Structure 1
Amino acid sequence: MTASAAASVKSSPLGLTVLTLLHHRPLHPYGIQQLLKQWGKEQVVNVGQRAGLYRTIERLEAGGLIAVRQTERDQQYPERTVYEVTDEGREVTREWLEQMLAVPKAEFPVFPAALSNMLMLSPDEVAPILERRATRLAAQRADLERQSAEAPAGLPRITLIENEYLLTVLDAEERWLRGVISDLRDGSLTWSREMLAAFEEGAAGSGGEEA
């Protein structure tokens, strides 16, 4: 497989994780999915849809990053194609990992987008909606804390480092969210259509004077 073919494979969290798992041993897609869940990787990569995993495997194979090792045949199961990482795949895994660790990516999660349009609702409408989010965040945090507490004694910290990061992010968002809800409740964060319209008129007037 040419270097250009490998370069055409777009990096992704799921692609990186599949390559990493195949560094340990050859696996078939079902084995990859089971190992992802067993290792708790569903917290950081989207493995909810098996079709997404198969598409990722197809792209990695087309780019020469993984190759078919063998086909397993068992009367109890359909044929299973076992994949292994190639030498090119090993190089690309390291490149992707270094890039993802070192370079913050301009991602566009849905929550900031929703926040930027929150003025479409009234403060009284927003407060209970954000309270629902805060409750869900608390539940997610409790679930991650439980997973960490149930980890075998002596487990190396590196094996749960993503949980540590997620807990830190969840805790920070929850604390920020509680502060915003408090500001909404006491009126220190407020808006209205009239207020926003007046601001727009003022901004337009200032622009006209400068022109």
Structure 2
Amino acid sequence: MAASAPRSSPLALTVLALLHYRPLHPYGIQRLVKDWGKEQVVNVRQRASLYRTIERLNGEGLIAVRETGRDQQYPERTVYEVTDAGRETARAWLEEMLAAPKEEFPEFPAALSNLLLLMPEEAADVLGRRVDALAERLDGLAAALAAEAGHGLPRVTRLETEYLRAVTAAELAWVRAVVDDLRAGRLSWSREQLDALAAGPEQGAGPDRI
């Protein structure tokens, strides 16, 4: 049976990409992810997931142990380097992730699909809290962009922050409009409608009769 192709993930791609620059130990990888602002798009808060990813990449031959050293702060540091296979795989993953939109299942659309569990006034209050959180995030992204631009680095190093700001601004505008519609009564539903939906077609309440 042929071996399966290495499985891509944002964290795995980032590990391979950082090792393109120089060999690193896991702590160095984690530090660079944070220093370069990549924690906005890659989750390295749980160090265990980083170590699991490194172990998998090593087992798949995409990275290799360069050396193992010791110092006073850390009893043992394994330094990894990217292999030729890792370079080729990282490029293939990158091209696929950039070119082909992936069908994903984030939490927010799933929650919206079940908004009928709340009444309109409740939904307005909850989504209003999301408006506040999105506005705060948007301010943070704008500040991050300004700081990154101030470092004199080329724009390509800020593209993920630009993208997150654009997506956050679009979501904020949409959620605000929904909250306005809820509070103005332009978007509404009743307990009777919910009861009819719950009854289902067998009770004569099919979609065309509600």
TM-score, normalised to structure 2, is: 0.91
Which residue in the other structure is 2:189 paired with?
191
- Aligned equivalent of 2:147, options 140, 145, 150: 150
The alpha carbon displacement at 1:4 in A equals 3.0
C-alpha separation between the residues in 1 aligned to 2:54 and 2:151?
A: 34
Which residue in the other structure is 2:132 paired with?
135
Which amino acid counterpart does residue 178 of structure 1 have in structure 2?
Answer: R
Q: Provide Cα deviations, 1:52-85, integer angstroms capped at 9, x if missing partner.
A: 1001101101111000000011123220000000
Unaligned runs of 5+ in 2: none
Which amino acid counterpart does residue 58 of structure 1 have in structure 2?
Answer: E
C-alpha separation between the residues in 2 aligned to 1:64 and 1:99?
A: 20
Aligned residues: 202
Which residue in the other structure is 2:106 paired with?
109
Kindly, what percent of the aligned residue pairs are identical? 62
Which residue in the other structure is 1:10 paired with?
7
The alpha carbon displacement at 1:95 in A equals 0.5
Which residue in the other structure is 1:95 paired with?
92
Structure with bigger RCO (C-alpha 8 Å, 6+ apart) = 1
- Residue correspondence of structure 1 range 1-211 to structure 2 within 5 A: 4=3, 7=5, 9-151=6-148, 152-198=150-196, 200=200, 201-203=204-206
**Worse-superposed segment, 72-81 or 181-190:** 72-81
Q: Provide Cα deviations, 1:97-149, integer angstroms capped at 9, x if missing partner.
A: 00100111111000000000110110111111101111111111111111111
Which amino acid counterpart does residue 54 of structure 2 have in structure 1?
Answer: I
* Residues 113 and 205 of structure 1: CA distance in aligned 2, closer, same or farther (over 3 Å): closer
TM-score, normalised to structure 1, is: 0.91
Q: CA RMSD in A?
A: 1.6
C-alpha separation between the residues in 2 aligned to 1:134 and 1:174?
A: 6
